Amino acid sequence: MIKVMIAGFTGAMGQKAIRLVQNTKNLQMVAGFAPSAKNPDPKKYGLNSNVKIFHRLDDVKTDANIWIDFTLPSAVYDDTKFAIQHHICPVIGTSGMSADQMKSLQKLSEKEHVGGVIAPNFGLSAVLLMKFAQMAAKYFPDVEIIEMHHGDKADAPSGTALNTAQLIDKVRPRHEQGAKHPIENLKGVRGGDYHGIRIHSVRLPGYIAHEQVLFGGPGEALTIRQDSFDRGSFMKGVKIASLKVTKLDHVVVGLENLL
Amino acid sequence: MIKVMIAGFTGAMGQKAIRLVQNTKNLQMVAGFAPSAKNPDPKKYGLNSNVKIFHRLDDVKTDANIWIDFTLPSAVYDDTKFAIQHHICPVIGTSGMSADQMKSLQKLSEKEHVGGVIAPNFGLSAVLLMKFAQMAAKYFPDVEIIEMHHGDKADAPSGTALNTAQLIDKVRPRHEQGAKHPIENLKGVRGGDYHGIRIHSVRLPGYIAHEQVLFGGPGEALTIRQDSFDRGSFMKGVKIASLKVTKLDHVVVGLENLL
Amino acid sequence: MIKVMIAGFTGAMGQKAIRLVQNTKNLQMVAGFAPSAKNPDPKKYGLNSNVKIFHRLDDVKTDANIWIDFTLPSAVYDDTKFAIQHHICPVIGTSGMSADQMKSLQKLSEKEHVGGVIAPNFGLSAVLLMKFAQMAAKYFPDVEIIEMHHGDKADAPSGTALNTAQLIDKVRPRHEQGAKHPIENLKGVRGGDYHGIRIHSVRLPGYIAHEQVLFGGPGEALTIRQDSFDRGSFMKGVKIASLKVTKLDHVVVGLENLL
Amino acid sequence: MIKVMIAGFTGAMGQKAIRLVQNTKNLQMVAGFAPSAKNPDPKKYGLNSNVKIFHRLDDVKTDANIWIDFTLPSAVYDDTKFAIQHHICPVIGTSGMSADQMKSLQKLSEKEHVGGVIAPNFGLSAVLLMKFAQMAAKYFPDVEIIEMHHGDKADAPSGTALNTAQLIDKVRPRHEQGAKHPIENLKGVRGGDYHGIRIHSVRLPGYIAHEQVLFGGPGEALTIRQDSFDRGSFMKGVKIASLKVTKLDHVVVGLENLL
């Protein structure tokens, strides 16, 4: 039985994590942590009476094996550090850490021999899309990416699309793609250029979060597409991570490293 | 019975046009014109003995009702003018005329009361896509276009994609689309901007000629897509035009005006 | 200004209808009706003090011009009849009426000269898909339908997919589709057969409600697809109906008749 | 340098194979075999003067390292056996062998320590689709397959679609998919059932050869799609096989075993 503490258990994602743990054999919730959870009575939150409730990081005392974290960008670094120092394996779904912070936590985990996962995207369809795209690029070096998000998303490209391009760029054979003397009659129409990989960002109301990777070769095409309709989809990835993370001896970044 | 002359009958599209006429009740080929067809014997070209063969425009003498033209950009204007002047209804699939040339031919046709069709794209799937896109834009003003062509196509966007955007622009309600303060972290990633309609051009080997129009609204999406696998698809449009053009009294531009 | 009564105003769709009316110039809510709304005070429901609240059909007295109905299959027929009899134009989004009931209400509306709309699906993307599919079938008689819904949907095909097939069947030219001597090595693999139009139903978790109509012709393909992510999308259709229904003089079935 | 013999070199695929070998460093054509190639002069076929031409299997004498075969179902078994017996590595793109024949050839190859590949489909996009689908099914056990082919294809499902289902079936966790009490209001609408995996076959003119594998999970979806526009796409797979096959010590079935 793997004992679980959930940081941010009162939030929307924290609540989903509670249900995940309750519905998974081999997982058992033993503690919850949230700054707003001033009442120490677990029954107030619909939890078993033996679940310990904390609202200050310094107060946390638990025999949990893993630390599932859906908190805030401002809190996640301290949370993760605390978890590693106390030999609780972090499973981090909170975004917002810098590359430096992640590296420092990885070093600490190696020293302490504590397994962990930091995943910007626990959605399994996105993780598999990236993995397959990287594999396909070895055989289909001609590739473009189209990501589609709701109209309110201000930034483009999406983090996942850029991440996909970076993964492809690492492995695809060096080559020239497209026409020798391209003519762009409307500026930007050929998309953003990441090391020769074109990325196109669509922003429309109704859409949620979707990505397609298009590969082409003489006489054929291969397309990998993922659709995220609901952030609840992250729980499948959290489950995989929770069941595997205690077997690691350091923190990895990206769920794909556990597949 | 509609009598047909085919200009450019020796070319690939001309040959397809011959088969179309042969396979269509109510159409009968009576003449063929091609500068390379020096031999006046129709049997040399696998045609019936009563088909007249011409290789100089000035020599053409025919009782044809319609003039199907798949020739060259350099020849098409003179061909069409000749047809109208001789009261033969032009069905023009040859591209390359300027807007001014087309206007001048339309004026001439009005004066002569001769019906005709000049269509940059006789592919019915593309024509219907444009028509439907224009209709949908009244209800879904948020729209983006993605066109995909083979890797050797140098220019972008495609003529059909730009044409689609222009048709949508004419009818869609004025409104602001997308986030208020968009951030493009990779230049061009949001595509080309035609009056607020974003167009994305994909160029990959294997692909032929494809276009998608994506509409989004609160909680829903509508997508219209067309795929051209083979220019032979144009013949369906040529057939529709050939059977209807004699009932017009002037030249129209775009097959959609006959649907 | 069009005065609106909302039947079923306490339900999820009723609440969306309230917000729609509040956000639309020319629409004003004057009454709400719901069996559970025992308290006559509109402020209890966050409504203006001049909105009248009813909880029994017989008590309803209102000068509303239109009657938006999102109630229950068991109530909708009586509601609609009541509205027509009182010369309030019904806009009915509640499903569950039989063909006979709808015919009887249409007759009544013709007698009373009252406009109205009964729409099994107010989602505009689905309505446009059906409209465009019917238009395209005239030119592309070869067609198949794929609909995709969440894994819990027990019945197949979806009502919209069947409706689409019926609309296409009415107009497409009679012809033979597919191979002359087809061989189905796995029973059912060619889908359901509605008058020669094949329908395929996919049921998978994650999916919500989606439909594709695929047309094929020599060398080309045309695909129309709609995605319903959220029933809130119905409000766009309710708005169109609400602004147009008072100009009708009888009840129509299907939002497409107002486009 | 790998020396290549091409069986069926006069056919359409054989001609493509010749160009592939000519354009690939490390590959050199040394012999061609075709029953119709009665003239022994390689120049007659546009080949180098040192290429040997054979038209009877028994006459074949060559120092070729690999034997690329695009012949006929009636010839392929004898060809492959001959190649293995003469320690020429077979690369077989000809379809039509029975499972028993393939097993017998595999046994022979093990005895003779000769590498080889028999591939029903050398299209890399199809092979990768199958590979990725099998990988994804471990995480997404809910899956359906849609394949689309031209209207003349009489049999359904396609061999590749059935093959994909079999590969998925081998690995996906046992589970119940779909609604508990499904209702099929139109017979066959839920597709063919292969061990619980639904397969849908679309047959439409214009389409060529396409397959989609759809995975769904709570709140997300993953789709893998491949399009074969042209059988020339097989050459990419033939190239991969040709460069790797000499390192094998027995015959494998399926290009995926070389990726």
pLDDT at D174 (0 to 100): 81
Lowest mean pLDDT among B17-31, B57-71, D174-188: D174-188
Residue contact C179–D152, C-beta within 8 A: yes
**Residue C229 near residue B220, CB atoms below 8 Å:** yes
Kindly provide the b/e burial profile for residues B19-43, where b requires at least 16 CB atoms within 10 angstroms of the residue's own CB: ebbeebeebbbbbbbbeebeeeebe
| Residue D8 counted as an annotated binding residue | yes
> Measuring CA to CA, which residue among C56, C57, C76, C63 is closest to residue C31?
C63
One domain, residues A106 and A177:
no
User: What pLDDT, on the 0 to 100 scale, is given for residue D121?
Assistant: 84
**Tokens of residue A153, six digits:** 């998303």
Mean pLDDT for chain B?
Answer: 95
- When pLDDT is averaged across residues B212-239 and rounded to a whole number, the result is 94
pLDDT the model gives residue D180: 87
Report how many domains make up chain C.
Answer: 2
Q: Closest Cα of chain A to C5: distance in Å? A: 28
Question: Chain C closest CA to B11's CA: distance in Å?
Answer: 18
Average pLDDT, chain C: 95
Question: Same domain for D186 and D165?
Answer: yes
Q: Report how far residue B165's alpha carbon sits from residue C184's, in angstroms, rounded to the nearest whole number.
A: 43
Sequence letter at residue A92 = I
Closest Cα partner for D217 from D116, D142, D162, D152? D142
Question: Are A10 and A45 contacting, i.e. CB atoms less than 8 angstroms apart?
Answer: yes
Min Cα separation C185/chain B (Å): 28
Partner residue facing B151 (CB), from A177, A186, A192: A177
Q: How is residue C3 written in tokens?
A: 């005065």
Question: Are the C-beta atoms of residues B70 and B13 closer than 8 Å to each other?
Answer: yes
Q: Tell me the backbone φ, ψ of residue A80, rounded to 5 degrees.
A: -65, -40
Q: Does C100 share its domain with C184?
A: no
Q: How close does chain D come to B123, measured CA to CA in Å? A: 12
Q: How far is B237 from chain C (nearest CA, A)?
A: 9
Interface test with C, best of A210, A212, A229, A236 (most C CBs within 10 A): A229
Please, what is the Cα angle at D17 between D15 and D20, to 5 degrees? Answer: 115
Mean pLDDT of all residues in D152-178: 91
Q: How far is A148 from chain B (nearest CA, A)?
A: 10
Q: Is the pLDDT of residue A231 over 90?
A: no
**CA-nearest residue of chain A to D213?**
A224
Peptide bond into A157 cis (omega under 30): yes
SS (H, E, C) chain B: CEEEEEECCCCHHHHHHHHHHHCCCCEEEEEEECCCCCCCCHHHHCCCCCCEEECCHHHCCCCCCEEEECCCCCCHHHHHHHHHHCCCEEEECCCCCCHHHHHHHHHHHHHHCCCEEECCCCCHHHHHHHHHHHHHHCCCCCEEEEEEECCCCCEECCHHHHHHHHHHHHHCCCCCCCCCCCEECCCCCCCEEECCEEEEEEECCCCCEEEEEEEEECCEEEEEEEEECCHHHHHHHHHHHHHHHHHCCCEEECHHHHC
Binding residues of A for NAD(+): 8-13, 93-95, 119-122
pLDDT for the residue B173: 86
Say whether both D106 and D152 belong to one domain: no
CB within 8 Å: B227 and C220:
yes
Which is more confidently placed, B226 or D178?
Answer: B226
pLDDT band at B175 (very low <50, low <70, confident <90, very high): confident
- Judge whether residue C257 has pLDDT over 90: no
Which of D151, D181, D220 is opposite residue C179, by nearest beta carbon? D151
In the set A3, A86, A153, A236, the catalytic residue is A153
Helix D234-244 vs helix D124-137: crossing angle, to nearest 10: 80
Interface C:D, Cβ pairs < 8 A: 169
Q: Chains touching chain B at 3 or more Cβ pairs under 8 angstroms?
A: A, C, D
pLDDT at C96: 84
Place of tokens 């919500």: C208
According to the annotation, is D12 in a ligand binding site?
A: yes
List all residues 6 or more positions away from D107 whose beta carbon is below 8 Å from its beta carbon.
none
Is the pLDDT reported for residue A96 higher than 90? no
Mark whether C211 and C138 lie in a shared domain: yes
A249: domain CATH number is 3.40.50.720
Residues B196 and B148 in one domain: yes
Residues annotated in a binding site of B for NAD(+): 8-13, 93-95, 119-122
Interchain pair B218, C236: CB under 8 A: yes
Q: Are residues A222 and A243 in the same domain?
A: no
Taking CB atoms and an 8 Å limit, are B204 and A216 in contact across chains? yes
Task: Kindly provide the residue ranges of all beta strands, DSSP E only, lying in chain A, ordered along the sequence.
Answer: 2-7, 27-33, 52-54, 66-69, 89-92, 116-118, 143-149, 155-156, 183-184, 192-194, 197-203, 209-217, 220-228, 251-253
Verify whether the Cβ–Cβ distance B231 to C219 is below 8 Å. Answer: yes
Q: Give yes or no: residues B148 and B95 share one domain.
A: no
10 Å CB burial of residue D43 (0-12, 13-18, 19+) is: exposed
Looking at residue A49, the DSSP 8-state letter turns out to be T
List, in order, residues 6 or more apart from C119 with CB less than 8 Å away: C92, C93, C127, C237, C241, C253, C254, C255
Chains that touch D (3 or more CB pairs under 8 A): A, B, C
- In angstroms, rounded to a whole number, what is the distance separating the alpha carbons of residues A242 and A21? 9
Q: What is the pLDDT of residues B85-136, one digit of tens each?
A: 999 999 999 988 998 999 999 999 999 999 999 997 899 999 999 999 999 9
Contact between chains at A139 and D124 (C-beta distance less than 8 A): yes
Residue in chain A lying closest to D212 (CA): A223
3-state secondary structure of A214: strand
Domain enclosing residue B27, as ranges: 2-118+232-258
| Residue among A178, A189, A220 minimizing CB distance to B206 | A220
- C236–B217 CB contact, under 8 Å: yes
pLDDT at C1: 92
In a shared domain, residues C140 and C217: yes
Are A124 and D217 a contacting pair at CB < 8 A? yes
Catalytic entry in C52, C149, C210, C239: C149
Report which DSSP code applies to D233.
G
Question: C216: domain CATH number?
Answer: 3.30.360.10
Predicted local confidence at residue D96, as pLDDT: 83
Quick one: D7 and D112 in the same domain? yes
* Residue B170 pLDDT level (bands cut at 50, 70, 90): very high
Binding-site positions of C for NAD(+): 8-13, 93-95, 119-122
Residues B8 and B107 both lie in one domain: yes
Query: If phi over 0 gives left and psi between -120 and 50 gives alpha, with beta otherwise, what is residue C191?
Result: left
Q: Which residues of B are known to be catalytic?
A: 149, 153
| B155 contact residues in A (CB cutoff 8 A) | 182-183, 185
- C200 versus A99: which is more confidently predicted? C200
In whole angstroms, what is the distance from residue B201 CA to residue A192 CA?
11
C175-212 pLDDT, tens digit each: 888 888 899 999 999 999 999 999 999 999 999 999 99
Q: Considering the candidates C86, C153, C244, C250, report the single residue annotated as catalytic.
A: C153
Could you tell me the pLDDT band of residue A15, with boundaries at 50, 70 and 90?
very high
* Spatial distance between the Cα atoms of D53 and D41, rounded to a whole number of angstroms: 7
Nearest to B198 by CA among A201, A198, A145, A213: A201
Distance from CA of A186 to the nearest CA of B (A): 5
**pLDDT > 90 in chain D, percent:** 88
- Name the pLDDT band for D84 (thresholds 50, 70, 90): very high
Best of C20, C222, C227 to disrupt the B interface (most B CBs within 10 Å) is C222
Distance CA B50, CA A65 (A): 92
Chains sharing 3 or more CB pairs under 8 A with chain C = A, B, D
The DSSP call for residue D207 is -
* A-D C-beta contacts closer than 8 Å: 120
What tokens appear for A14 in the block? 């924290």
Interface test with C, best of D145, D148, D186, D222 (most C CBs within 10 A): D186
> Which band of pLDDT confidence, cut at 50, 70 and 90, is reported for residue A249?
very high
Q: Are residues D36 and D79 in the same domain?
A: yes
Residue of A142, A154, A204 with shortest CB distance to B181: A154
Place of tokens 């099998």: D134
Cβ separation D179–C151 shorter than 8 A: yes
| Phi-psi map region of C219: left, alpha, beta (phi>0 left; psi -120 to 50 alpha) | left
Q: Is residue C149 among the annotated active site residues?
A: yes
> Which residues of A line the annotated binding site?
8-13, 93-95, 119-122, 150, 159-160
